[in-house]
Amino acid sequence: MSKILRFEMQVPDPEKVIEFYSNAFGWKFSKFPGPQDYWFIQTGESDEKGIDGGLMKSPDGAARTVNSIEVPSIDDYLAAISANGGTIVVPKMAMPGMGYLAYFTDPSGMILGVSQADPNAR
CA atoms within 13 A on the CB side of 52: 15
Q: What does the alpha-carbon distance between residue 63 and residue 118 come to, in Å, rounded to a whole number?
A: 29
> Are the C-beta atoms of residues 103 and 89 closer than 8 Å to each other?
yes
Q: Is 45 helix (H, G, I), strand (E, B) or coil?
A: coil
Q: What is the pTM of this model?
A: 0.85
CA pair distance 90, 121, nearest whole angstrom: 17
Tell me the C-alpha distance between 99 and 116, whole Å.
5
The 10s digit of each residue's pLDDT in 67-89 is: 999 999 999 999 999 999 999 99
Q: What are the tens digits of pLDDT across the range 47-66?
A: 989 999 999 999 899 999 99
First to last CA, the chain: 27
- Name all domains of the chain by residue range, CATH numbers in brackets: 7-58 (3.10.180.10), 67-122 (3.10.180.10)
